[in-house]
Amino acid sequence: MLKTRIDFMGRRKLAMGFSLTLILTSLVALAVNGLNFGLDFTGGTLVEVEFDSPVAPEQVRQALERSGFSKGIVQNYGTETDLLIRMPPQEGQEQATLGDAVLQVLRQQYGEVSLRRSEFVGPAVGEELREDGGLAMLIALAVVMVYIMFRFTGKFAIGAVVALIHDVIITIGAFALFHWTFDLTVLAAVLAVIGYSLNDTIVVADRIRENFRLVRKGIPLEIINTSLNQTLTRTLITSFTTLLVLLALLFLGGELIRGFAVALTIGVVIGTYSSIYVAANILLVMNITKADLVLPEKEGAEADMP
């Protein structure tokens, strides 16, 4: 195993500034741009079509608007001849047949157009999915805090949850900043990020707790630095192998899981960073000591029992 002596906590103030910058940028992007919710959450119709020759998405959107289909989003889907059209519910138009109506307009404008996929989601279902998704993230964070409190101490629980919130905000903020589509697959990726980041944080926390109990001398900053260096190889190998799979999904998996792969890739990178700097940094901010982690001593007859 590679032994390192990196002064992680010596750069904790720089890391804190970096994290605050990312979080502030994410919050501003969420406030200004909002999330570009997919049809899973907003309701509407999704149509994937193929043209005989390359066509500009903006021209297709304008053609649809001239035919009375407003607020649609048109984008290339893999190639220059494939387009993905997301159309919100239209007044005076039967939603179940909206995809057929869009296809008819395109064939009138461009001739032969092949329909590859058409999906419809009702607005009531989309709103319910959005609310349930947000509730799922809150429940996940609450359960994590309870679990860490039982396994470690309250200070570790706060550090772990702060790191998870840090990872979730930055991952979601990236989708708001670049206006990427946020759908159910991305929400699943965000929940997976919580699990991945938690696993990494627990490994680091276990080593910190062990070293606090074993090391007779040493200030908390030195003990945490030692613990981070001892787990660094494991952390990097785990993250690297995970990223290899995610990059394969990102470049070879196709458009349907691109959002999932992007969200997980961002989450793994940020989660690796937060398990080293954010969770451990919070412990120092809360002035963790050996007294917080010392096991209670047995008294009387219990002390003689094996």
- 11 close to 278: Cβ distance less than 8 angstroms: no
Percentage of the chain modeled with pLDDT above 90: 20
* From 9-13, 68-72, 149-153, 163-167, the region with the lowest mean pLDDT: 149-153
Give CA–CA dist 70/84, Å, rounded.
15
More confident residue, 26 or 221: 26
Residues 89 and 43 sit within 8 Å (Cβ to Cβ): yes
Average pLDDT, whole number, for the chain? Answer: 83
User: Binning pLDDT at 50, 70 and 90, where does residue 304 land?
Assistant: very low
Q: How confident is the model at residue 135 (pLDDT cuts 50, 70, 90)?
A: confident
Residue 280 near residue 211, CB atoms below 8 Å: no
> What are the tens digits of pLDDT across the range 138-176?
888 788 778 877 777 778 888 888 898 999 999 999 999
For domain 9-36+125-292, the CATH superfamily is Multidrug efflux transporter AcrB transmembrane domain (1.20.1640.10)
Task: Check residue 78 and give its pLDDT.
Answer: 75
pLDDT at site 145 = 76
For residue 185, the tally of other CB atoms under 10 A from its CB is 17
Strands (E), 18-112: 36-37, 44-51, 73-77, 79-87
What CATH number matches the domain at 44-121, 1.10.730.10, 3.30.70.3400, 3.40.366.10, 3.40.1350.10?
Answer: 3.30.70.3400
The answer for residues whose C-beta is within 8 angstroms of residue 300's C-beta and 6 or more apart is none
Residue boundaries of the structural domains of the chain: 9-36+125-292, 44-121
Interatomic CA distance for residues 147 and 167, integer angstroms: 19
Same fold yes or no, 9-36+125-292 and 44-121: no
pLDDT value of position 269: 94
Give the full edge-to-edge strand order of the sheet including 44-51.
73-77, 79-87, 44-51, 113-121
pLDDT at 222 over 80: yes
Residue 242: per-residue pLDDT: 92
Tokens coding 251: 């470049």
* Confidence band, pLDDT 50/70/90 cuts, at residue 294: low
Q: What is the predicted pLDDT for the residue at 126?
A: 64
185 pLDDT more than 80: yes
pLDDT score of 19: 94
Report pLDDT digits (tens) over 26-60: 999 999 998 888 777 777 888 899 998 888 888 88
What tokens were used for 8? 């992680």
Strand 79-87 relative to strand 113-121: parallel, antiparallel, unpaired?
A: unpaired
pLDDT reported for residue 125: 61
Terminal C-alpha separation, the chain: 34
CA distance to 77, 92, 152, 301, per residue, from 70 (Å): 20, 12, 54, 80
What local confidence, expressed as pLDDT, does residue 292 receive?
64
Picking from 105-114, 116-125, 240-249, 251-260, which range would have the lowest pLDDT averaged per residue? 116-125
- Give 298's pLDDT tier (boundaries 50, 70, 90): very low
